[in-house]
Amino acid sequence: MHQAKKMSSNNRRLVGLDGIRGLAAICVAMHHTEGFVGFDAAPAAYLAVDLFFCLSGFVIGHAYERKLIQESTLSANDFAIKRLIRLYPLYLLGLLLGVLAYAGMSFSRNQQMDPMLFATSLIASMFFLPAIGGTSLKAPNLFPFNGPSWSLFLEIVINLAYGYAARMLSSGVLALILLASWVWLAAQTLAHGSADLIPLDGALLSGFPRVLFSFTLGILMYRYRERLSPSGIGKAAAVAVIVVATALLVFQAPAALVGIKDLIVITALFPIAVLVLYTVNFDGVLRQPLLIAGEASYALYAIHVPLLGLLLGALKAAGLGQPPAWAIFAIVLPLIVLLAIIVTRLYDEPVRKALSAGKAMRLRWRRS
């Protein structure tokens, strides 16, 4: 019996998946330094979003599918609250930091902010909704204060849809959704020449096939994990998978092949990586770094863009100017990763614990 069957307990920590999620978040942060360093250090990092969606489907299946469907011990409403508690505190922090960065940028450029647009955009963002009106910075961004939030919006949408429809989602139904969403994804990827259709320009619809396909695939992979997970995978091979998956986020194919490459990565290579890393039980020297990478991943993704703007803006305001590229990669980015770990431990975890405790107290009060 291979390791996936030995370690099928829902309480098992998925260390390999933690690690690849953390490395993917670092690649995204590297990608978003382009406006400051003048070149793209991770030109394929947009694919991290598809990896995150696949990981999300797999991990949510691991943590909640039995409770939602087989045991019926978790209601759809309770699942929705759990997911909002998991996602909203760091989303809110990223939003508030983004407001500060936005205000600082407007001030440094001597640009007038349209009070009505600013207010409506902020209110929409507070409720995890896209700001259809855009912003006064002439960037028609649906999440103007923190651009990466578009994928968090899609994450919460797919989470809520799954939670409320879980008992109706047989494997056959999921297979149909998977096929239809792949056709949609393939059509727009090949037409565009890339899967990098960032829905910041009002085309939010372009993000839905990405989340539908990868999240659904993740759920199905979890359901059939014992049949699909490879056996006899050693730690050296698993580390090689992490290296290759990370390389797929850093290095780009020739322009004519990007669309086809993206489809292969999203459809096959990332899912294989998820299954391999689920199978292997990491311990020893690798375990703690992978756990820390996973711990920091969501905070890093949620706050890195406004933090980059704030930190580099503060250096300019202090008269120190724009730091060279090497300093951004060697000092600023590691500092942001460190801040993500601190924010996770001192803000996100305590807030989520308090919110979960408050929810539990209300449930006990209702039952008494």
Residue 356, number of CB atoms within 10 A of its CB: 14
Question: What are the tens digits of pLDDT across the range 118-160?
Answer: 888 899 999 998 886 555 444 457 888 999 999 999 999 999 9
Q: How far apart are the first and last CA of the chain?
A: 47
Question: Which pLDDT does position 103 carry in this prediction?
Answer: 85
For residue 360, name the pLDDT band (cuts at 50, 70, 90). low
Q: What is the mean pLDDT of residues 62-69?
A: 95
Portion of the chain with pLDDT greater than 90, in percent: 73
Question: Which pLDDT does position 301 carry in this prediction?
Answer: 98
Distance CA 161, CA 171 (A): 16
Handedness of CA 347, 11, 272, 174 (dihedral sign): negative
Q: Are 272 and 218 in contact (CB under 8 A)?
A: no
Distance CA 121, CA 95 (A): 11
Domain spans, the chain: 3-363
Question: Which pLDDT does position 81 carry in this prediction?
Answer: 96
Dihedrals phi, psi of 140, to nearest 5 degrees: -75, 60
Q: What is the DSSP string of 207-247?
A: GHHHHHHHHHHHHHHHHTHHHHSPSS--HHHHHHHHHHHHH
Question: What are the tens digits of pLDDT across the range 86-119?
Answer: 999 999 999 999 999 988 877 766 667 778 888 8
